[in-house]
Structure 1
Amino acid sequence: MYVTSTVLEPPLRIPTFADVEAARTRIEGIAHRTPVLTSRTADGRTGASLFFKAENLQRVGAFKFRGAYNAIAALAPDVRKNGVVAFSSGNHAQAIAYAASLQQVPATIVMPNDAPTPKVNATIGYGAEVVFYDRYSEDREAIGRRLASESGATLVPPYDHPDVIAGQGTATLELIEEIGEIDILVTPLGGGGLLAGSALAARALASGVRIIGVEPEAGNDGQQSLRKGEIVSIPVPKSIADGALTPSIGHRNFSILKAMVDDIATASDAELVETMRFFAERMKIIVEPTGCLAAAAVLHGTIDCAGKRVGILLSGGNVDLKTFNALLAG
């Protein structure tokens, strides 16, 4: 089911479209088949036909539930009983916590001490143990590996994991099944799980589709990496897109991105705020800053979509309402 990379050592399991299809079977009836929304105002503004896959309406409020549930469900029963460990700024944390609770698996989550309060509270509410760290001075991966080693649990990283990538790809699989062929697919980009999984699905289902990722302007490591042809690491960026504040793309993710993704664009914090306002005022939905990345690049003309059918992933809607109101009032 997996192909092996001959470039990276040690050999990595790189998921394929077959893994996306297997993930769809595992999560069917558990994850929501989220709606695809349209807006005449957005279409008129861009001269395109835009289709918004509303993963802000997914369980735990983000696409991350897909990959989290799939990764835990794929574990052998004797492995699953030892629990899972994850590290995340919020959405993967909640997703692992909830997916683990549904499957009666113990979960420990490593979260930054500045993670949004609603995401922390939700993670704890789903029954996970939370361990805090300083994202600017501590290594969350090292902490996660240590905790997993000490407890015998399985480490499930937020993006550089074959079953996580495959699970995330089910959102694009559903999108294309519902609306048919698209000319352009645009997704948010942090560590690369959503973009990599989306690329696997899109390349299999939509011939000739142009695939574009969008990351915060302050953290364009993915853009630099794709153009340089190798992973570029940067200091942890500062942006309101808290779910995309990664210093580098995952190795498995980049292997897929190099082969399948056409370009990576960026969006500024100001553009994210304006896009949040658009969704709230015109489409009556709440989308968090990270979830607005792809839409912001399209609505602000960074990606030329005129005359095209465009699929856009809205990756999540988990934002503190005080923060949401402050950003829109600013």
Structure 2
Amino acid sequence: MAEHVLVTGGAGYIGSHACKALARAGFVPVAFDNLSTGWAEAVKFGPFVQGDLMDRARVDEAFARFRPVAVMHFAALSLVGESMRDPGLYWRINLGGALNLFEAAVAAQCRNIVFSSTCATYGDQDGVMLDEGCEQRPINAYGASKRAIEDMLVNFGQAYGLNHVIFRYFNVAGSDPEGEIGEQHRPETHLIPLMLEAIEGKRPALTLFGTDYPTPDGTCVRDYVHVTDLADAHVLGLKRLLDGQGNGVFNLGTGRGFSVREVITHAGAVTNRPVPVVEGPRRPGDAAALVSGSVRACEELGWRPERSDLRQMITDAWRWSQSPGYSE
């Protein structure tokens, strides 16, 4: 009988791709989502529980009903700018939700957690290839809340034997190549879908938030990883825990950074259309450059970011934006 895995945020962009990867690997993913940013239409690979992590009783019900062998925890508020304007919201929702989830997991004797963390825990360390040993010094409440949840997991491991794999990942892009699910947010804040919307005339232009950063062309530099490669890594992390190989922390990226202007150039080449652009001021909380060292994930998990070529990521995202499943 297939084992169940509780996937918080399973109706969201990354969570739905993780559910597909889990189903492909022989698990039954149970998507737990309040649909504040997720889409019910994206739940296609297992049962759906509509619920909020702040509702402890609802979380307990999900554990009692499905008896999962593990949890993949994606659900969180994740907008850097919003976290700068309203840090209390991020501390309350992200920390409170994680606390309810981990306490419920311990009570249900589910002791394996795969946690979606972020490179934002490292803060702004320009010119550094960020690996797992780099100091964590987040510069916004989003990154700080994720760092605190990492610490919470360590404490719960010491006290209750809760096992964990933590993934700190960089900019996620692309869409499911089969076209079943894809990237869409309310509101949309990610560079590649915003850029594609500008190309299609669904918004007047793409705004460059800051053109005076200490980078080769003045725009922010980011490391992009394909969402399907990211989902595959989470399955590998889960198997590590179920095999009893111990806790682990892994960066997920490619080690290659692209500036915003470079992404725009690639998008124009993929779509054969111009990208309308306007320049704007910097956004508070944005780091100048974030590039991953992901050697540990490759060596210890056997992970291979095979689809994480920038042109491929834009191609897959463009295909999804033209598909019947995409909602404007």
Instruction: Flag whether TM exceeds 0.5 (same fold).
Output: no
In terms of fraction of residues, the more helix-rich structure is: 1
How high is the TM-score relative to the length of structure 2? Answer: 0.33
How high is the TM-score relative to the length of structure 1? Answer: 0.33
